[in-house]
Structure 1
Amino acid sequence: MTRYLVFFVFLLCGCQVSQTVSPQVVIYTYHSDPPFFLPDQPTDLSRAWVDRFNQWQSKIQLRVEHIERGVLNQRIEEGNPYLILWANPLFFISRDPMLLSSDTIFWDADILVSRKQQPIDYHRPPDLIGYRLGGRRGFYYKGLNELSDEGKLTRIDADNDNQNYERLLRQEVDLFIMQRSAWYYWRSNGLDETLLYVASEPHDGYSRHVLASAEYAELLRLINEFIAVSRQDAMWRAQLMKWGVEGLMNPFELELEELLDADVDKQR
């Protein structure tokens, strides 16, 4: 009965089904930075994850589609079925209280980067009063948004990390906030760390998952099996090392404070 129910759901979602081709389902990613999104490269972490999932089983074929966060928010609020890669349930629960979440794929954090010659350390939001912070358009940073609204912090938003990095070097901002996964990628791919200083304490920490609407409950169970198998897969861990994020597989790579203080209102 479950098999036929899932098949019927796939038809309702506009999936492609034939006698010889596995049903195809779109999985969204809204991240615009490496390693999740490298549109000019043959692959990136999102496409690599989906390719491995498709090779691991033959019941379903996922197809990754990059989407702007605002468009994704609207689709969810309109009640459309969805799968989202690299998200945390706390980022979307207000838009769909019935959403489902996979097991953790890996852990991530927001970090604060300043110039080596003018290092800025961080422990709590008031530490940044009076500074110019490079943020990301549409992102909510707990405590920092409020300081910006009060005029105690100048926030200058960009579309990607590279824009913030260039503004930092031109001294147009004093520091910027980015994801640790992106930092690991750039550090493994030619970033000159000697120019930069990373605050010892991150702004926050969080886990990354696949999120799903209720229609995809059966598929999410299959995804959880894949996540469990991948943790023990030496070839997959080698791929994660290539993307610079292998260390994020283990929550103990994060500071205790990051695990205890996962912010709930992210617009990631």
Structure 2
Amino acid sequence: MLNKKQNIIAILLLLLTSSMSSAKDLVMYFYQQTPPFETTAQQGYFYDLVSYIDNKDLTNHYSLQFMPRELINRLIDKGRFHGVVVGGNPAWFNDNKKEKYLWSISVFEDANEVISDLAFPFEYTGLDSLIGLTIGGIRGHYYVGLEPLIKQGLVYRDDVSRVTQNLKKATSGRVDLSIINRSFLQYYLLDHKQDF
């Protein structure tokens, strides 16, 4: 029969081995391959965030992997997505009430900006000001308020894969305007202000 001291050691060993056996490698996914979220390969805000979480959780190991938003949407629609998306917003995943998915507290605030060619400046005054225009967007991204206008054929959407492509389309007049996230724009303008 084990004495109390041995029982405590046995319980501690049991807890230690069970926590080691339940340790998981958890992949967190992101779809925004733009600064400041991803500045260079394996660097940027999302990598720093996942590294911070990984260092704080001594049980599990976390890593970050890119997955295009279109693929995330498809997997969610089919009920086959099992994971964590970093940098999402309830409105972008049609979950304003936060009932479909689990959400963390907000760790980053951002906003969308409307960008147009200086030769044909556009001033946003509300959703009605977009009617009849062609808007540059990012494939798979959901733009709150715009989707109904697009479905009704009142607004045309011309998507690309990368934000830099979207910016170039807007500033060259190939679309009437593009929607660009503010965080990217601020980061981009640090090195490219002379281009504008």
Paired residue for 1:147? Answer: 149
How much has 1:137 moved relative to structure 2? 1.9
Q: Residue deviations 1:145-184, cap 9 Å, x none?
A: 3434444433221111111122223321121001112112
How much has 1:122 moved relative to structure 2? 0.8
Q: How does 1:34-73 map to 2 (within 5 A)?
A: 34-38=35-39, 40-73=40-73
Paired residue for 1:167? Answer: 169
Paired residue for 1:183? Answer: 185
Distance 1:73 1:52 in 2: 27
Normalized per residue, which structure has more strand? 1
Aligned residues: 178
| C-alpha distance 157-75 of structure 1, shift in aligned 2 (>3 A) | closer
- Using structure 1 for the length normalisation, give the TM-score: 0.56
Distance 1:80 1:194 in 2: 40
Q: Residue deviations 1:40-77, cap 9 Å, x none?
A: 53512211211122234423221111112233234444
| C-alpha distance 193-67 of structure 1, shift in aligned 2 (>3 A) | same
| C-alpha distance 46-115 of structure 1, shift in aligned 2 (>3 A) | same
How much has 1:109 moved relative to structure 2? 1.1
| C-alpha distance 118-75 of structure 1, shift in aligned 2 (>3 A) | closer
| C-alpha distance 69-152 of structure 1, shift in aligned 2 (>3 A) | closer
Counterpart residue type for residue 166 of structure 1: K
Equivalent position SS for 2:192: coil
Paired residue for 2:7? Answer: none
* Equivalent residues of 1:116, 1:194 under 8 A apart: no
Counterpart residue type for residue 73 of structure 1: N
Moved over 4 A (4+): none
Equivalent position SS for 1:32: coil
Where does the alignment leave 5 or more consecutive residues of structure 1 unmatched?
11-16, 196-268
Paired residue for 1:120? Answer: 122
Distance 2:74 2:131 in 1: 34
* Equivalent residues of 1:36, 1:45 under 8 A apart: yes
Counterpart residue type for residue 71 of structure 1: L
| C-alpha distance 141-99 of structure 1, shift in aligned 2 (>3 A) | closer
Q: CA RMSD in A?
A: 3.1
| C-alpha distance 18-145 of structure 1, shift in aligned 2 (>3 A) | closer
| Identical positions, percent | 26
Distance 2:42 2:145 in 1: 39
Q: Which has the higher contact order (CA 8 A, sep 6+)?
A: 1
Paired residue for 2:109? Answer: 107
Where does the alignment leave 5 or more consecutive residues of structure 2 unmatched?
1-13
- Using structure 2 for the length normalisation, give the TM-score: 0.74
* Equivalent residues of 2:92, 2:144 under 8 A apart: no
Distance 1:162 1:170 in 2: 12
How much has 1:99 moved relative to structure 2? 2.0
1:24 aligns with 2:25: yes
| C-alpha distance 87-144 of structure 1, shift in aligned 2 (>3 A) | closer
| C-alpha distance 165-98 of structure 1, shift in aligned 2 (>3 A) | closer
